[in-house]
Structure 1
């Protein structure tokens, strides 16, 4: 039986190489390219999504963070999550390595680079401000490229990624409700399958 390789990267040399690679990519992408501030801002596209669940805050956090971790890599375990840790990517992000840049009881933030573009995914879970009985789940996504005027391929990478992230978030909200017993299982699975089929057709 083939041994499953750990998703968390622990080899010191591999970590050092990834740290240098991430540093090089960050220097390249964060370097100012345009004089115009509007063109500089246009290099980044953002996605903000929120959902509110009428359920216990701690249970929502535990369940949803577990869903997010499995979304990053099917073999990733919650016990492996650590701030500033490097991980092996799954096919969902073209098998590129990713880094958990922040992790605490309220937030998990993930970052990776691909095709001269920087990707950031942030999930925050807190008590809703105006309704203490509800838990608020916030997703923030950023994609920063090298140009404000992009090639068709560069635009497609960003657009398709963000569309798929939006669908993935909605799917995970349905799975959360399903696991918490807030929605009938068959109804949730039907909706999830429809969204998965739509996501496959994107490009």
Structure 2
């Protein structure tokens, strides 16, 4: 029988090494690199999105959190999430370690990771709104060493942003299916749409 992989990084030595790596990289990236304020601002990339779900927050949040965690790693469950702990993604090409920077099991989660001298922070939170509905807020911030000025740098950012928008849209569609907000006769159509979006995202470069 195949043993289920545990994405949680519990080895004290590995954790200490990651903490030092994160601390050093973030500290270096927070240093001013340019005299120009405009150039400094270009080192930041921010994506903001939101979505409304016609269900109460206590129903939406657990389902949403499960989807978010599964996208990070299929074996990552809500009960295994702890603020400050490190985990590893399931990406077969590049298994990146990430940290749960902030976590409230009722309304918000923030993860952070570093890759290629860049610092990424992603926050998802929810808020109860009128008509017993829930508003989902998504914020993705990345910070690099250089100003996004040249064609190559702009293209990399464009592809990253596009992929995150697609990923969030797919998560919301899956959430609606899980919450039974999609008529049964339209589920197959939505799943086909998701498949096409995934293929499109994979081809982006």
Q: TM-score range by the shorter chain?
A: over 0.9
Q: In the alignment, which residue of structure 2 is the partner of 1:171?
A: 170
Question: Using the alignment, how far apart are the partners of 1:193 and 1:166 within structure 2?
Answer: 15
Q: In the alignment, which residue of structure 1 is the partner of 2:86?
A: 86
How far has the Cα of 1:57 moved from its partner? 1.1
Q: CA RMSD in A?
A: 1.7
In 2 relative to 1, CA 13–74 (structure 1 residues): closer, same or farther, beyond 3 Å?
same
Conserved in 2, the CA contact under 8 Å of 1:88 and 1:98? yes
Q: In the alignment, which residue of structure 1 is the partner of 2:195?
A: 193
Question: Using the alignment, how far apart are the partners of 1:121 and 1:155 within structure 2?
Answer: 20
* TM-score for both structures, normalised by structure 1: 0.92
In 2 relative to 1, CA 33–71 (structure 1 residues): closer, same or farther, beyond 3 Å?
same
Question: Using the alignment, how far apart are the partners of 1:177 and 1:73 within structure 2?
Answer: 21
SS at match of 2:64: helix
Residues 129-180 of structure 1, C-alpha deviation per residue, up to 9 Å, x if partnerless? xx34220001001111101145555444433222111111110110111011
Does residue 202 of structure 1 match 2:201?
no
Q: In the alignment, which residue of structure 2 is the partner of 1:111?
A: 112
In 2 relative to 1, CA 7–61 (structure 1 residues): closer, same or farther, beyond 3 Å?
same
Conserved in 1, the CA contact under 8 Å of 2:148 and 2:154? no
In 2 relative to 1, CA 93–123 (structure 1 residues): closer, same or farther, beyond 3 Å?
farther
Residues 7-55 of structure 1, C-alpha deviation per residue, up to 9 Å, x if partnerless? 0111111100000010111111111111111111110011001000111
Question: Using the alignment, how far apart are the partners of 2:92 and 2:103 within structure 1?
Answer: 21
Question: Using the alignment, how far apart are the partners of 1:156 and 1:100 within structure 2?
Answer: 29
Aligned pairs for 1:1-203 (under 5 A) are 1-91=1-91, 94-104=94-104, 105-128=106-129, 131-150=130-149, 152-184=151-183, 185-203=187-205
Conserved in 1, the CA contact under 8 Å of 2:43 and 2:143? yes
Question: Using the alignment, how far apart are the partners of 2:64 and 2:189 within structure 1?
Answer: 19
Gap regions ≥5 residues in structure 2: none
SS at match of 2:20: helix
Question: Using the alignment, how far apart are the partners of 1:25 and 1:2 within structure 2?
Answer: 36
In 2 relative to 1, CA 118–152 (structure 1 residues): closer, same or farther, beyond 3 Å?
farther
Conserved in 2, the CA contact under 8 Å of 1:141 and 1:162? no
Q: How many residues align?
A: 201
